[in-house]
Structure 1
Amino acid sequence: MILFWFFILVCLDSSQAQQYYDGIECASSLSYPGSRYTCNMFQNSCRTYVVYRANQQFQTIADISSLFHMDYDAMLRLNNLTSHSVVLRSGREVLIPINCSCSGQYFEASFSYLVSKIMSYSEIACGVFEGLLKSSTLAEENLAQAINMGDELRVPLKCACPDNSTSVKGVEYLVTYPFIEGDGPILLSKRFGISPEDLSFVNNLEPPNPTVFPNTTILVPLRKPPVLNFNIPDSPPPTPGFLPTVSVVKPNNSTRLRVLYIAGSVVGFSLLLLALMACVVMYRRAYKRWKIEKFHSFNARSSPLSISPVRSPLKSGLTGRSSSPMSTCLSPDILAGLKYSLFNYSIEEIRRATRDFNEENKTSARVYRGVINNAEVMIKQMTSVETSHVIDVHSKINHINILNLEGVSYGESDLSWSYLVFELPSNGCLRDCLSHTSNSLQWSQRTQIAFDIATGLHYLHCCTFPSYAHLNINSRNIFVTGNWRVKLANIGTLSALGSSENKGWVAPEYLLYGSASEKVDIFAFGVVLLELISAREDIDGKLFKESIKFLGGGSSEGGFLEQLRSFMDQQLKEYPLAEALCLAVLAKACVEDDPLHRPSIDDIIKVLARMVEPEVNRHVW
C-alpha cells in the first residue's frame, strides 16, 4: 500500500515538472495556475535569482539593496558595478540573489516592505516590486487589510526550484524574469543563451513562438549562474510603443526631391482631410438641430402636460453659466472604410471557455464568464439579428471608456445562437464593487468612476454620427478595470430598456411615451451617481426619492448636513463634504422628471472635472 501511494504521488507530481505561465496582468484580482509557482517533492529550497529593473524610485544599487534587504557590496560584484551610489539608467536590469523555499504548497522568497505612504496592494506589487508577485497574492498574504503608513507587509516573491527529474537535464537555477513591452521568448532565449524549447517546456508554453504579455513573469532555466550579458544595451531607450526605427542617411539630391514630393503630397492630403472634417462637422450640427426640433415637437404633441423650457437648476446652481454643446468632435464614420476585424471562434472554443456553458459560469441571462487564451472574457448569447446589430454598432465606435468587442462565434443558421466575446475588466461590474464592504471604494476612485462614465456618454452623445444614446446605463452594465477605470458595456443591444437585463429606475418619459433620447442616459447617470455615493441599489426609485428629499430644501442647516451624512455610504470614512454635496445635487438634477430640466452631458463633465484628482487621471490603463 505504501508503494502504491508513492507511485500515485509521483504520477501526480509529474505535472510539477513544469510551472505554468500566468498571462493575466499583475493587477488582476484573479488567480490562475502560475499566479504562484507550485512546490515539487524533489527539492524544497534552493538558491536562485530574480531580475529587477532600476526605476525613478530605486535608481542606485544602494536603493535596490535596501528594498531587498541585501548587502550592497555583494550586489555590486554580482552585477559588475563599482559604486553603490551611481544612478543607473532607468530599465537597467539588476540580478537579485534570493533564497527560494517551499511554504505550504507554493515556492516563495519571503521579504518585507515598510509602507512609507498610502498605497494600494496593486501599486506595491506591480509598481514597487515590478510584478515579481501578483497584487492578489500580496493582499492574500496580508489578509487584505487596509494599508496604513508604517505598516510592514509580508512580500512573498515568485520563485521556483528546479526538478531534475524533468526532461530539461542539468538545470540548476530557475530565474524569475518579469516581462516588459518588447520582450519575447525568442529574445529572452538569446539573451540568456538557452534554447527556446527549454524555456517553453519549463513554463508549460506552446513552442515554437508562444504568446506572452507585459507585467507577467516567466522562469528562465539555467545550468550555471546568470551573467550580465542580458543587460539593456547602452543605447537610447526605445521609442514609446517600441516602434521599429531606421537609421537616418544623409539625403542626396534625388532624395531631397523625393522628400519634397512626399511633403507636397502630405500637405495636399491634409488640406483635403480638413475640408472633409469641416463638411462632417457642419452636417452634424445641422442634423443635431433637426433632431432637437423633432424631439421638442414630439413631446409637445404627445405629452398631456405642458412643458415649459425652464432653465436647468444645475446650470444656475453649480456652473454659474449656461453651456454650449461641444462641436470639436470628429465623427468616427470618416474612417468607415477601414476594415473592422474580429476573432472568429468556433463553437467548440466557446464551449471550452465556458466549461460547456456550466451554470457556475453564468452571470446573468444569456451571459457567461469564460477564459480564452488565459484571459477572462464575457460571452453573450444572441440571435443572429442581435449579433449583426451589435457588431455594426461596435464597428463605428472606439473609446477607452467602452468595453471592447473582441470576437464572435456565428451560429450554423439564422435560427441558432451566436456568441459575442467581450473583454472582461478584472474588478467586475460597478454594482459588485459597491457591494464589497471589505474593500470599499475610496472617494477619489468614486469621483474618477463618475467622470469616466460621463466621458463615455459624452463620446456616444457628441462624438458619433449620428449621435447615439446608450439607453441601458446602470451599475451592472458598467465595468471597472484593475486600475479602477470604467468601461461601459451592453452597447448596441436591441430594445435595451425593454430587456430582462435592465434593472433599475428608468426615465419616466420612456415609460410613458417611449421617448428614447440622450436625456434617458442622463437620468440613468443620475441614478448611478446616487449609487456611487450611497452604495445602495434601488430598483423602482422609491428609496432614492425618499432619501434625497432633503436636497429640495426645507431642512435646517444642521439637519441638512446630517441627512446628507446618513445618505452617504457608511464605509466611506473620509470624503470632502463639499464634493459629496455637489455630487448629490448633480444627481438630483439628473433624475428630474422633466427631461428639459436635466443637465447636458457637457454640464456634467464640467462639474466632475473639478473633482477628479490629477494623479488619478495619470493612471495607466
Structure 2
Amino acid sequence: MNHHVCNLIFFTLIILLSSKTKAQQNYSGNSILGCNNNDEKGPSPAFLYTCNGLNKSCMAFVIFKSKPSYNSISTISNFLSLNPKELARINSVNLFAVFPPGKEVIVPVNCSCLTNDYYQAETKYILGPNSTYLTVANDTFQGLSTCDSLMRVNRYGELDLHQGMELHVPLRCACPTYHQKTNGIKYLLTYSVNWGDNISYIATRFNVAVGNLLDANGFSTQTEMLYPFTTVLIPLQSEPVSSTTIVVNDPPTMTPSTGRSFKKCKSKKKVLIIAIATSVLVLCVILFLLFLFLFLLRKRSGSFFNRGNRVKNKIGISSEEIRGKIAIIEHISKVYSFEEITEATENFSSKNRINGSLFRGEFGNGKEVLAVKRMRGDASKEVNLLKKINHFNLIKLQGYCENNDCHYLVYEYMENGSLREWLSKNSSIEHQSLAKRIQIALDIANGLQYLHNFTEPCYVHKDINSGNILLNKDLRAKIAKLALAEESKIMITSDCPKSYVVGSVSYLAPEYLYAGVVSTKMDVYAFGVVLLELITGKDSITLQDGREVMLYEIIENIVDNDNEEEKVSLFIDPCLIGSCRKACALQLVKLSLACLIQEPEKRPNVEEVVSSLLKIQANDMQQRISPTINKSLSLER
C-alpha cells in the first residue's frame, strides 16, 4: 500500500514539474491584429499571456515608444498608471525628462493573474474621437494590449464607443515559469516589435541567448516571421538597462533573413515634394514639345494622328474618353429614412443579425430583402465610391441613411454569406464542384480587374480576403467592403509606414506590410491567398505541428517536384476528392503561388490572372465533357 502511495506521489510530482517546465508563452503571430478570436478551447495568445508562471504576480517590464502627448516621465506615468520615480530610475533620467519621438522607454509594471487564465498589468484610457478597440490596442497602446482582451474587460459594444468614455486596458506581461527561474531568469520584458525586427536582432540587442528567446515565445526556429504591433517576451537575468533602448524612426533596413527586398521609404517629405515638383516640370516640357510636334504634323498631313488606344471613332471620341465618361456616371442610390431602416430590421433585432454590425432587412412590406450595415464615423468615402461603381462582381449599394452620427448602408442581400463561411460548410453538392470554385475565383478576379482598370480614378481594394467575398444564391461572388480602397495611381504611401496599417494581415503583401507600398499588386497577392483557400478549403493561417503557419508556406514546396500532382492532391479540399481533376488543381495552385511571389513586379497583373483562369476553366470544362462525348459515341456505334 505504501509502495503504491509513494509511486502516486512521485508521478504527481513529475506531472506538476512537467507543467511548470512549459517555459514558453506562444507567440501570437498576426492573430493579435484582428478582433474576432475566441478562447473557448483554452487560453489564446491573441488575448494576453497565459498564467503559467511560478508566481501569480511579479515585477515585469514593457517597452513603450515615446510619442506626442506621451513623451515625458509625467505623461507616460499617468498614461500607464505608473510610479514616476520608478519610471525615471529604470530609464536613468530625472523626473523632468522629455523623450524624443520614437524613443523606447522601459516601463516597470506590476504583473498579476487577475483571472486563472491570463497575466496582465492594468491601466485606464479616456477615448479620443473615432476610436475603436482595434485602434486603441494597436495604435494607442502599440500592441501592448489586444482588441479581444479590451472587448472582454469593457462592457461597451464595439459600435457604442464614443469620445470621453473610460476604458479598462489590460497590458501584456508575464512572470517567469519554473523552468526559467531555474535557469536564472528573473524578469520578462514585453517588447513591442518594430518594422523589420527579427529574432536574432532582438536577441543581440538585449544580450540574451537565442535559445532562451525561442523558448520564451514558443518559436521553433529563429527565422520565424515577426509582425509589427505584436509583442515578444524577452527573458532577463537582471533588470533591463536604458542602454538597450533605441529611438525608432524609419523602418529598419530589411535583413537577409527576412527573404525580402523592398525599396526604402524616404523619411523626409521635403525630398518627396522636390522630386514631385521636378517630375511635374519635366512632364510639362515634354507635353508642350509633344503638342507642338503633333500640331505641326497634323497641319502638314491634314489627318488625325492615331496613338494606341486613343484611336478616334466615327463621332470623334476616343475609347479612353468613353471609358472615363462611363466610369464617372453615378447610379442613383435611395436615401432611406431611419424609420424605414428600423422597421425593416425590426429595430436591429438579434434574429436579423447576419454578423457583427450587418443585419438582414425586409423592405417594402417584405417584398425586397436587403442587407443593412450600421457604421459609426464618416462613411462618405465608401458611399461616394460605391455610387460610382457598377459591376456584377462588386457589391451594389442600394441606398443609405444618416441618423445621429451613425450611417446605415443598404446593400443587395447575399444569400450564401461570405466565402469563408461557405467554405466551412461541407454538406451541399455545390461544395463538391471544382467548376463552382473556379467560377468564384474568376468572379473575384473580374471584380478586381474592373476596380484596377475601368473606374475613374482606378482603385486598389487593399482588403481582399475570404471574409469580404460574398456569395449570392447562385454562388456568384461579389467583392464587398471597399472602405479601405485607395486610388491606384498612389504607388507608395506619402510617408513612412504608420501604426494604422489596415487590412487582414495574413492577406497583406509584404511590400505593404513592411514598407507601406500601395499598388494593384497587393490585391493580386491577397487574391493568391484566397485562391489557395478555395482549393484547399483551409483558412489563410493554419496549424502545422502545433503552430500557426501561412497556408502558402505548406504548399509552395510541393510544386516543381516529382509527383507534384499527387502531392497537391493531399492538400485539396476533401469535399472535392473524386470530382477534382488533379492537373486542373495543380494549375490553380501554380497560379496562386505566382500571385504570392514576394517581389511585386514579378507577380502577374489582374488581367493575366483573368486570362489564366479562363484557360483553366476551359480545360476543366473540356475534361468534364470529353468522357460524356466519348460515351455517347461508343453508344452510337
TM-score by structure 1 length?
0.44
TM-score (norm 2): 0.43
